[in-house]
Amino acid sequence: MSLSESLGVKRRKNGGWLGRQQSRNRGIVLLVGVIGFFFLVNWWMFFRLQHDPSARRKESSVILNSTLPVQGKQNKIAKVRRHRQVMYNRLLALAAHALADGEGKPEPHDLWKETLVHTIFWKPCADQRTWEPSEGANGYIIVSANGGISQQRVAICNAVAIARFLNSILVLPKFQYSNVWQDASQFSDIYQEEYFIKYLQADVKIVKELPVELQSLDLEAIGSLVTDTDIMKEAKLSFYMKKILPILLKNKVVHFTGFGNRLAFDPIPLDLQRLRCRCNFHALRFVNKIEETGALLVQRMRHHISQWSFLERNLLGPPVAKANHNNAKAIKASRYLAIHLRFEIDMAAYSLCYFGGGKEEEEELEAYREVHFPALNTLRKTTKMPSPDVLRSEGQCPLTPEESVLMLAALGFKRKTKLYVAGADIYGGKSRLAALKSLYPNLATKESLLSPSEIEPFSNFSSQGKRREIKELSSKGQSQGIIGEIIATVKLLLYTEKMIQRLHLNGGDMVVVDCCDCRYL
């Protein structure tokens, strides 16, 4: 082979190698470009979801019933609806896409199952007692609880624990009227007071009224009136021993007003913790009309089942137990998802978040805070608070109905899922619920399940009405608890903070776990 031929062969080889290398480089560059474009598009979508342009915010308006005049209200409603359609179409489009994408896939196998398998061995222990009845020799404890039914329930059980701790007699708690809840119900309107007194008689003595000789006392003048400003949130038992017991011994009576979350959960003696749980899960039984209507709601959600489970008999009370006795044949219950959106005006105002309603929303929530949360407004004037954008980015804002749809779709709940929405009026009105209804057509509320005559007895009593809801199957009061229960046929999503009440399956039987120191067996 000549020199020129050999050089030609070498050039061809080198040229082929260079060509392949250049082709490989172009492929790598193209791949990097595609990946970069993908991340850029995703960043842009999340940016659009979380940040509303300032110009749009200024132009938008929202209907806020408590401060808007009657004239011109319809025009403002129309403006608000136009704004919400623009703002939340992105969220709804994402949720619709997620639901459509999931239709062709099998339902997650563990969607309706309890993931913490070892907890099936937990057993109730709150009903166990290791002490003698209290004599109540030190005086009387009065509590006037504020807030809604959950806050009131916490206050009641904290008062029971404090009465036992201070060796005092508890006067049957009273409820303060709240401008938020607008419910004048008292203890006997919601709970069976005789049952409450009798059930706890081995723990603490409870009376309906103060003795006559103490009723005429000016409690504020003698220093026996204790408000929430006098007690820090989740105060320790040592505070009550040092500050409250001397007042009790001196005046023979102490009146707590408000009493919202004024007792810590840790450290606290086990027996006292059990007493608090015993109050919450055993002693507080709803009156018959509430129990019966609650059972009716569950029955209609489950398509008129004739056989109730052990769990439901315990949660819903005598009406269900009686129905079980009268029915010999069981019908398989349909399963459903119950959620409590907790997207009401008080939550929206207290959260300090922005929900897309523009300047009028901001003014309305500010006015609401001035009336109902003055302490929060005072704090905002003296302390730098996180901006609405920061609060949202940290997950501290309540979910809107549109965001709830996204969450449910992401969890794997398909469009055909039966959905029960509990709670009071959603902030923004029925239009905000339309997002859920459009994607989950099998949606029900108490209004859709009960006839006007069935719902009428509760129409002006929000605290009584709340028990009708499926929410109350698990939320036996706020109890500073995370309440996540999955009952084979029911999965509830509720959010709070510390203690746990779980409902579990154990060999076909339902086991109620009372939240306190439940030991493995």
Tens digit of pLDDT for each residue in 218-247? 999 999 999 999 999 999 999 999 999 999
Q: Is residue 379 part of a domain?
A: yes
pLDDT at 115: 64
Q: Is residue 50 part of a domain?
A: no
Average pLDDT on 256-280 reads: 93
Structure token pair of residue 302: 């489950």
Same domain? For 261 and 355 the reply is: no
For residue 319, name the pLDDT band (cuts at 50, 70, 90). Answer: low
By the 8 A CB rule, do 83 and 358 touch? yes
Q: Looking at 3-12, 284-293, 437-446, which range is the least confident one?
A: 3-12
For residue 63, name the pLDDT band (cuts at 50, 70, 90). Answer: very low
Average pLDDT on 76-105 reads: 65
Task: Decide which of 283, 315, 330 is a domain's last residue.
Answer: 283
pLDDT at 252: 97
Domain range spanning residue 355? 345-395
Higher pLDDT, 81 or 124: 124
Q: Annotate 359-393 with b (16+ C-beta within 10 A) or e (fewer).
A: ebbbebbeebbeebbeeeeeeeeeeeeeebeebbe
Task: Decide which of 230, 249, 283 is a domain's last residue.
Answer: 283
Same domain? For 267 and 371 the reply is: no
Average pLDDT on 78-103 reads: 66
pLDDT at 197: 98
Q: Is residue 384 part of a domain?
A: yes
Same domain? For 279 and 357 the reply is: no
pLDDT at 303: 73
Average pLDDT on 391-417 reads: 88
517 contact partners, CB below 8 Å, separation of at least 6: 125, 270, 273, 274
Q: Is residue 249 part of a domain?
A: yes
**Strand runs (DSSP E) across 315-401, as ranges?**
336-340
Same domain? For 187 and 270 the reply is: yes
268 contact partners, CB below 8 Å, separation of at least 6: 237
Average pLDDT on 437-455 reads: 90
Same domain? For 156 and 269 the reply is: yes
Structure token pair of residue 282: 């055993």
Same domain? For 246 and 379 the reply is: no
For residue 514, name the pLDDT band (cuts at 50, 70, 90). Answer: very low
What CA–CA distance (Å, rounded) separates 346 from 180?
7
Please count the structural domains in the chain: 2
What is the torsional sign of CA 282, 286, 287, 290? Answer: negative
Average pLDDT on 67-76 reads: 38
Higher pLDDT, 97 or 230: 230
Same domain? For 156 and 266 the reply is: yes
Average pLDDT on 421-431 reads: 81
Closest of 344, 346, 338 to residue 294, by C-alpha: 338
Average pLDDT on 263-268 reads: 90
Query: 168-172, 262-266, 426-430, 461-465 — which one is most confidently predicted on average?
Result: 168-172
Same domain? For 195 and 271 the reply is: yes
Q: Is residue 6 part of a domain?
A: no
396 contact partners, CB below 8 Å, separation of at least 6: 351, 353, 386
Q: What is the average pLDDT value for the chain, to the nearest integer?
A: 75
Q: Is residue 318 part of a domain?
A: no
For residue 206, name the pLDDT band (cuts at 50, 70, 90). Answer: very high
Same domain? For 279 and 350 the reply is: no
Going from the C-alpha of 67 to that of each of 143, 278, 310, 426, the distances in angstroms are 33, 43, 48, 17
By the 8 A CB rule, do 131 and 445 touch? no
Same domain? For 153 and 272 the reply is: yes
What CA–CA distance (Å, rounded) separates 167 from 134?
6
What CA–CA distance (Å, rounded) separates 208 from 223?
23
Please give the model's pTM, rounded to 2 decimal places: 0.68
Q: Looking at 85-89, 205-209, 330-334, 435-439, which range is the least confident one?
A: 85-89
Q: Looking at 42-56, 350-364, 386-400, 460-474, which range is the least confident one?
A: 460-474
Average pLDDT on 273-300 reads: 91
Q: Is residue 150 part of a domain?
A: yes
Which residue shows structure tokens 């004048």?
Answer: 184
pLDDT at 409: 86
Provide the 10 A C-beta neighbour count for residue 479. 24
DSSP type of residue 233: T
Task: Reply yes or no on whether the pLDDT at 435 is more than 80.
Answer: no
What CA–CA distance (Å, rounded) separates 218 from 225?
9
For residue 485, name the pLDDT band (cuts at 50, 70, 90). Answer: very low
Task: Decide which of 370, 395, 420 is a domain's last residue.
Answer: 395
Going from the C-alpha of 14 to that of each of 2, 8, 21, 41, 418, the distances in angstroms are 19, 10, 10, 40, 68
Closest of 162, 150, 144 to residue 190, by C-alpha: 150
Going from the C-alpha of 122 to that of each of 111, 115, 129, 269, the distances in angstroms are 22, 14, 18, 20
Q: What is the pLDDT of residues 11-61, one digit of tens each?
A: 454 555 556 666 777 777 777 777 777 667 666 665 554 444 333 333 333
CA geometry: angle 191, 124, 330, nearest 5 deg? 75
Closest of 444, 439, 493, 443 to residue 94, by C-alpha: 439
Task: Reply yes or no on whether the pLDDT at 82 is more than 70.
Answer: no
Q: Is residue 154 part of a domain?
A: yes
pLDDT at 71: 37
pLDDT at 47: 57
Same domain? For 349 and 278 the reply is: no
Going from the C-alpha of 207 to that of each of 105, 143, 408, the distances in angstroms are 59, 12, 47
pLDDT at 375: 85
Same domain? For 165 and 255 the reply is: yes
